[in-house]
Structure 1
């Protein structure tokens, strides 16, 4: 029987093997004494961790890179093995889902997106698992170790979710994919997973508080505090039904913020003004020559900016990261958005503000953060018991 995963921690682990692996990923090729100096661990501890990582096929030695005059194995630089273990990362969206294959270096090796195949969890698991196997066929001989699912859901118990948008109640998502693909699976709410992706991709260490705000066809936020994603017991922060405030061009039907600034809300607002488009991308392309299309997009940016300012005023983060295509796909509207964030006065100064390093692939990277979580937390304990062949 396929072993089951525990709930993902979504944090930078303090386990010795995790710290060693993280340092090698960020700094490799790097020698063991350099890893020890960077992490504060003893050379002996680093030596034991690197030996275990070598045995698991996660890292490799690069003797040809030794400095002149250096002797002994500890001086041999080590780096992540580019042919090492892989994971399956799956993001299930309301209208679009994506499957990706990634490695322990946080590289997406291959990916494929499709319209979400209905709402039946068995059908979704069948079709996305079939895509995963087709992608894995291109990486024969490499070892598959774990899988992760990120989606807009509440975790009921580890691996099981309620998904209001898809009509799911207590669905065993981790088991559905683990049974089909044959490796353990973890599952996490996708905004918290996006916050974890920011840690995974951008931070060898992390101090302070970071607010992550996501906007597309879902609105949400998450907090990262000193390297750990906050996972509220009651579920993710809900922004969709916050009041909108005054609108001029967008269609406020009183259903809440998401109904106004979500992608479908913009398409509907455009239609109300005689602009026939099927997507926000089409609307943005038209905005170069159509003042009304431009005004609609500027107004959405302004409303989103007010939202970011409001949530920042409540949570008082040191920095804010904007995730999701509403922020990343159309950078020309970041100026009115940033201007609107400053309409909310913040004593002590505004937090640093930046767009996610994952850009328009945040869904893939969020799922990757879930897939790599157990390995990143304690690689030398997890990997020897989970290695299997992708072929």
Structure 2
């Protein structure tokens, strides 16, 4: 009996990953749905609080694996950011800042209207600013899309991600100071974490291209070098309780502008990236408890609606001046729906450093589950309606 229990525990995650992959392939081939939505649904159904297949205790190894998967996607997202484009068309950055401010203010006052605490309102508002680059990039790679909507959604998601991390870390620092009165802990978990994380990404963004130049591998496939560097950065930031989000994004951004060419074979990091993506989205959905979803359903659904209206308005008002039609502006706003991967991992990282905010923010469970399943579908439809998906793309 003990051996069967051990076998069940050892095989829980591999079996969940296998089932999620099978479900994703069938959903994509037969129903033309995004694989990510299927991964999330399987993860939620098999979670310890639902189906009970996955172990109830949080696995540090799985959290690290999910962070590595997220780090690889964030590196690629950061790498695809074109700073020259943002300088030549500053309205894109203006749209990001405007919709982030609108989203923060709208969600903050909405949460207060539901008689929640000011701390909860600030935290929910900060996290709602984000748009998850992980979901967006995986759908873009899956659909093989390209064009104005594709590039702007990706750029906006990265900018929103950075803004959300900055604001969230500052608020967490204030929460720690308010509860403990320890100025060092508050500073370390706030501004110091941000500065050190960005510096770490900057250092590797300079170091790895220099190594590739020195070893004369500059024009060859650098997938292995970037992968090893991202794994190291994530492991180091995880151990030092820094921000892997900011570190890997900075790494990708700096590496791009060190004239390193990301070959076609590196997009998505190949089979390794696909495997880690399955793990990432199953893990994210498995952290969501049905009781939390039910407890926060009213406010959670309201946050989804208010957040989406604010984002579409903030992006839409800059559509014409930034060089696109109102229709494309609306489609970009529609594609900014995903949030789950960013929110869940940031909260799990926060819990890892000893600040448990998950139980305080039950409405996020509703928003995360809904957007984890529906978000990829909205991105998919936005890209198709923008005519940026090849009609006969290879699967």
When the two structures are superposed, what TM-score results if normalisation uses the length of structure 1? Answer: 0.23
Q: Name which structure has the greater RCO, CA cutoff 8 Å, separation 6+.
A: 2
Structure whose CA Rg is larger: 1
Bigger share in helix: 2
TM (norm. structure 2) is 0.23
Higher strand share goes to which structure? 1
